[in-house]
């Protein structure tokens, strides 16, 4: 499940009013989420949750579900 909080951060970073974001959603399905804006999404998530991802973690993300799990594990850790 993608939390409303994460969804909001992603949509704001992409300047989108609304878009259905699920666990299996991949960046290429979301308007404006291209290779250039990907880093903006990652930085916005890090800033909002006050966490840091390392390079390997960023490169391993396959979909939004992976991002949600990573955020959750960082917040719990």
Partner 1 sequence: MHQHGIKRGEVCALIIRHNPDFYPLYMAISSLGAIPAVLAYPNPRLHPDKFRQGIEGMSHRSGLDWILTEKELDPIIRPLVEKEGSTIKGIHFPLEWNKALTADDTFLNEIKELHQGIKNTDPLLLQHSSGTTGLQKPVLLSHRAVLNHVENYAEAIHLNENDKVVSWLPLYHDMGLIAAFHLPLAFGIPSVQVDPFEWVMVPSLLFEAISKEKGTVSWLPNFSYNMMADKIQDDELENISLESVRMFINCSEPVRKESHKKFHDRFEQYGLKPNSLSACYAMAETTYGVTQVEPGTEPSLLIVDRQEMSKGKIKISDDHEVSRACISSGKTIKGCEIKIVDENRNEVSDDSIGEIAIKSASMFDGYRNYPEKTAEVLQDGWYYSGDYGFKYNGEYYIIGRKKDIIIVTGNNVYPEDVEEAVSKVEDVIPGRVVAFGEEDPEIGSEQISVIAETNLLNEDEQKKLKMAIVKAGMDIDITIRKIYLVPPRWLIKSSAGKPSRKANRERIIDLKENKVELK
| Pairs from 18-21 (Cβ < 8 Å, separation ≥ 24) | 21/64
75 lines the binding site for partner 1 (CB under 8 A) = no
44 lines the binding site for partner 1 (CB under 8 A) = no
CA distances from 31 to 3, 10, 57, 72 (A): 20, 11, 23, 25
51 lines the binding site for partner 1 (CB under 8 A) = no
CA distance 50 to 46: 5
**Could you say which of 5, 12, 24, 34 contacts partner 1 (CB under 8 A)?**
34
50 lines the binding site for partner 1 (CB under 8 A) = no
The residue ranges that bind partner 1 (CB under 8 A) are 17, 26, 28-29, 31-32, 34-40, 42-43, 52, 55, 58-59
């Amino acid at each position: 499940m993608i939390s409303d909080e994460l969804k909001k951060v992603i949509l704001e970073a992409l300047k989108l009013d609304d878009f259905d974001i699920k666990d299996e959603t991949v960046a290429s399905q979301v308007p404006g989420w291209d290779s250039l804006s990907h880093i903006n999404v990652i930085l916005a998530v890090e800033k909002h949750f006050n966490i840091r991802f390392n390079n390997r973690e960023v490169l391993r993300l396959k979909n939004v579900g992976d991002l949600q799990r990573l955020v959750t594990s960082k917040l719990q850790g």
